[in-house]
Amino acid sequence: MVTGFQNIPKVPELKRRILFTLAMLIVYRLGCHIPTPGIDGAALASFFASQQRGLFGLFDMFSGGALMKMSVMALGIMPYISASIILELLSVVIPHLERLRKEGEVGRKKIIQYTRYGTVILSLIQGFGIAVGLEKMSGPGGVLIVPVGGWGFRILAALTLAAGTAFLMWIGEQITERGIGNGISMIIFSGIVAGLPVATMNTFRLVGSGELSPFLTVILVAFMVLVVGFIVFMERGQRRIPVQYAKRVVGRRVYGGQSTHLPLKINTSGVIPPIFASSIIMFPVTVANFLDVKSIPWLQAVVNALSPGHIIHDLFYVAFIFFFCYFYTAVHFNPVDVADNMKRYGGFIPGIRAGKNTADYIDSVLTRLTFAGAIYVSAVCILPQILIYKLNVPFYFGGTALLIVVGVAMETASQIETHLLMRHYEGILKKGLVKTR
C-alpha cells in the first residue's frame, strides 16, 4: 500500500488531478467561513446550539458546519441533490425526461442543465425561507439574530445563499471533470470529515477528565474498525446472475458466445434512504421547536416520541429506511429494461426463458437483495442512537455520515487505482495485474 502511494507522484496527470481536487476543497472550506451579511453571528451560534438534534443538525452536518455559521455556503450542496432526485423521480412519470435519459450524452447534458436550473430555483426558495425565519428568531436573552430585517435583508440573503450554492455546484462539476472522484460526493465528504478533528479532541478531553475510561475508548476504537470493515464488505457485496450470450454472425464476424454475469449490489439505493428518512422524521421535531407545544400535552408527547432516543423514533426511522430502499431501487433499476436489452443482444439467463420470465426472475432476486440491504442500512444508521441514548456513550459514530465517508473513500481509491494500473504501476490497495517494466 505504501508503494502504491509512492507511485502517485510518478503519474503527472493523476498528481495534477489530486492537487486540483485539494485546491477546490480548500476554496470550499474557506467559503464556509464567509458570513452572510446582516446576521448577528453570536446570537445565531447560541440558537443553533440547542437545535443539534433536529433537522438543523442534519443539514449542518452535510454543509460542513456552514449552516451554523450561516455562511454564504450555508445551504451546501443539498439543493443540487434535491434537484437531482426530483428530476430522477419525475423521469418515471414524464415521457420527455425518460427519453432524455435514453439519448446518451446529449440527453445527459440536457438533464444536467435542468438540474442546474432546479438547483438555483430551490436555493432561492430555501434562502428566502431561511431569511424570513431568521428575522423571527432570537438568541438567549432575546437578542435578535437579524438586527435590521425587511425586504432588503430577505432579498440579499436569498441571493447570497443561492450564489453560494451555485458556486459550490460549479466546484463539484470542476472536480468531477478535472479532479479525482465525484465532485458532489467529495464536497459532502470534506464537509463531514471537517468535524472529525473536533470530535477526536473532544474524545481525548473526555478521557482526560475521566468521563470516558481508557478501556471503553479502546473498545470503541476496535468497534469502529469492525463497523468500517462491515460497511466495506456490504458495499462491495453483490449478487452475480450468470448471463449467456448466443453466437451471432454479422457479415464475416461471429459475435457473442461468451458467458458473463449481471452484478446486483446489495445496497442499490446508496445513502438516499437514510437521508430522506432522517429529513422526514426530524421535520415535525424541528417545527415544534419554533412553536409553544408545552401547553398542549398530547402534542408534546408526540414530539417526545419522535425525538432521537425514543423507541417510536427508532421504529419510524427503520420503517422509512425500508420504504425508501424499495422505492428508490424501483425507480433506479428497471428489470424490464434489463431483460429487454439482454433479449435484444441475444443474452439469456441459463434455465430462465427470455423476456417476461427473465424480468420476473431479476425482480425477485432484486427484492430479496433490497431487503438485506435495508437491514444493513438500518443497522448502521440506528447505531448512533444505541450508542448515545441507550448505552450513554458520549461518542457519535455511525449513521448516514459514516456510509457517505466510507463510500466516497472507496470510490476515490478505486479511481486512483485505475489511473495507476492504466500506466503500469501497482495500485494503492493491492498489487496490480500489470507489473512495471
pLDDT digits (tens, 9 = 90+) for 139-186: 666 777 788 878 888 899 899 999 999 999 999 999 988 888 888 888
Q: CA angle, corner 313, sides to 307 and 319, nearest 5?
A: 150
Amino acid, single-letter form, for residue 121: I
Q: Cell for 293?
A: 407545544
CA distances from 15 to 18, 214, 287, 429 (A): 5, 40, 47, 17
- pLDDT computed for residue 26 by the predictor: 92
Close Cβ partners of 93 (under 8 Å, ≥ 6 residues apart):
none
CB of 319 closer than 8 Å to CB of 91: no
Mapped onto helix, strand or coil, the DSSP state of residue 201 is helix
What percent of the chain is modeled with pLDDT above 70?
A: 82
The domains of the chain, with CATH numbers, are 1-210 (1.10.3370.10), 213-393 (1.10.3370.10)
CB of 227 closer than 8 Å to CB of 380: yes
- pLDDT computed for residue 57 by the predictor: 60
- pLDDT computed for residue 182 by the predictor: 83
User: Over 80: is that where the pLDDT of 305 sits?
Assistant: no
- pLDDT computed for residue 434 by the predictor: 41
Close Cβ partners of 317 (under 8 Å, ≥ 6 residues apart):
277, 278, 281, 378, 381, 382, 385
Q: Which of 265, 359, 274, 281 is nearest to 325 (CA)?
A: 274
- pLDDT computed for residue 429 by the predictor: 57
pLDDT, greater one: 299 or 29: 29
Lowest-pLDDT choice from 80-84, 210-214, 296-300:
296-300
* Residue-wise pLDDT tens digits, 239-283: 888 888 877 666 667 665 678 888 898 888 887 788 778 777 776
Strand partners, 240: 263
Predicted TM-score (pTM) of this structure: 0.78
* Residue-wise pLDDT tens digits, 425-434: 555 555 444 4
